[in-house]
Amino acid sequence: MRIVVLDGHTLNPGDNPWDDLARLGELAVYDRTPLAQVVERADGAEIVLTNKTVIDGAAIAQLPALRLIAVLATGYNVVDIAAARAHGIKVSNVPEYGSADVAQHTLALLLELCHRVGDHTRAVAEGAWSRAPDFSFWLTPPRSLEGQTIGIVGYGRIGRQVAHLARALGMRVLASSRLARPSGGEPPDGWRTIPDLFAESDVISLHCPLTDDNAQFVNAALLARVRPGALLINAARGGLIDEPALAAALTEGRLAGAALDVLSREPPPPDHPLLHAPNCVITPHIAWASLAARRRLMAASVNNIRAFLAGKPVNVVNP
């Protein structure tokens, strides 16, 4: 059984060994794989693991031995699901391993927008407090969240965890869900359509998957609906946002701030419109990356492969 990992560095940069996976077959691990080398490296493999390396229909057609593509993530838009199904290849994902971590990072992004801890720390280090005539100064006044409304787009595991944390800050929770209103966990204070949610919320936080139907749904028309002083958080997928439209909304002051852990292209080009937009906080897709979460992801991925080898596949996204 030949097993190939196409892009293993982010999951295991040296602190999260592949030992359990290696026990399941002949293992080859590549830190990174360019699209042009996917077929060459996966040739002859029955199981291929990928995180963000794209496995498109052209590659799938050239890999006759392939039986399982195991995605080292929850989102699986990097795989041509229709092509995999047509070739009888199962695709698995890991639906739950870091919900609490992503929710925690979402809260960190929100609090950074409200308190600008990084900017104030740099200002103090540069001597601004030492030069100040008063005991207290601020670059921008802190923003209180108590009594404000957060609108959550996507009320699954992560969205519900964000709601839980927001309530601890005294916030009111609205939610929108593309599927039937999910059960489990505390319900929101109200369900809204996406346009109404954008219009009524002081903070909007995205926690939905990226699909063909919702790509760039956060566009200029939707951003025009937000109330003055609104904030936007995205720890889901960069492709959900029309990024030039968001940059324009920030530049024109129609949106008070945005905090993003994801962009449509990662890493972004130096001229990406959001890298220099005002009041925009960007972190490099790290919400998922605590060691504890990566260990859970590794264990769950190995379990997916064990189950597949035993003839009882789990977490299959293209049954």
Between the alpha carbon of residue 31 and those of residues 2, 19, 100, 306, the distances in Å are 17, 16, 27, 23
Q: Number of helices (H) and strands (E) in the chain: give both, helices first.
A: 12, 12
Spatial CA neighbour of 104 closest among 142, 57, 158: 158
DSSP state of 282: E
Annotated catalytic residue 105: no
Helical axes 157-168 vs 99-115, angle rounded to 10°: 40
Continuous H helices in the chain: 19-22, 38-42, 57-61, 81-86, 99-115, 117-125, 128-131, 157-168, 194-200, 220-223, 243-251, 291-309
Establish whether the linkage from the previous residue to 278 is cis, with ω within 30° of 0: no
Catalytic residue among 192, 237, 272, 294: 237
DSSP string, 149-160: EEEEE--SHHHH
Q: DSSP H helical segments within 7-56, as ranges?
A: 19-22, 38-42
- Does the active-site annotation cover 146? no
Choose, from 157, 192, 272, 285, the residue flagged as catalytic. 285
Is residue 285 flagged as an active site residue?
yes
DSSP letter for 75, please. Answer: -
State both tokens at 121: 């720390």
Phi and psi at 123, nearest 5°, equal -65, -40
So which residues are the catalytic ones?
237, 266, 285
